[in-house]
Chains A and B, each alone.
Chain A
Amino acid sequence: MTEATGGIEMEEGQSGIVKKFMFVNRKAPYGTVYALEGLEVVLISAAFDQDVSMAFLDDGVYQLAKGQHTKAIDVKNFSPTYRALEGYDIEKLYVEKESLEARGLSQENLLVPVEVLNSKEIAALMADQDVVISF
Chain B
Amino acid sequence: MKFGILVSEGPYTHQAADTAYQFVKAALEKGHQIHRVFFYHDGVNNSTKLTEPPQDDRHIVNRWSKLAQEHNIDLVVCVAAALRRGIRDDILAPGFRISGLGQLVESGIQADRLVTFGD
Please give the residue numbers on chain A whose beta carbons come within 8 Å of chain B beta carbons, in ascending order: 3-8, 13, 15, 17, 19, 21, 33-34, 37, 40-41, 44-45, 47-48, 50, 130-131, 133-134
Contacts and interface: CB of A to CB of B under 8 A. Distances in A.
B3 interface: no
Interface string B108-119: 111000101010
B99 A21 contact: no
A4 B106 contact: no
Contact of A7 (B100, B110, B116): B100
Q: Rank and list the top 7 A-B pairs by shortest CB-CB distance, nearest first.
A: A5-B102, A6-B100, A6-B102, A6-B103, A131-B108, A44-B101, A6-B99
B79 interface: yes
A13 B109 CA distance: 9
Interface of chain B: mostly helix, strand, loop or mixed: helix
B106 A37 contact: no
B40 interface: yes
Nearest to A130: B108
Contact of B100 (A3, A21, A33): A3
Q: What interface size band does chain B fall in? A: 20 to 34
B80 A40 contact: yes
Interface of B: 6, 40-41, 76, 79-81, 99-106, 108-110, 114, 116, 118
Contacts of A4: 100-102
Given A45-B105, A50-B105, A133-B6, A5 B100 contact: yes
Given A13-B106, A48-B106, A37 B99 contact: no
Contacts of B106: 6, 8, 13, 48
Contacts of A5: 100-102, 105
A134 B81 CA distance: 17
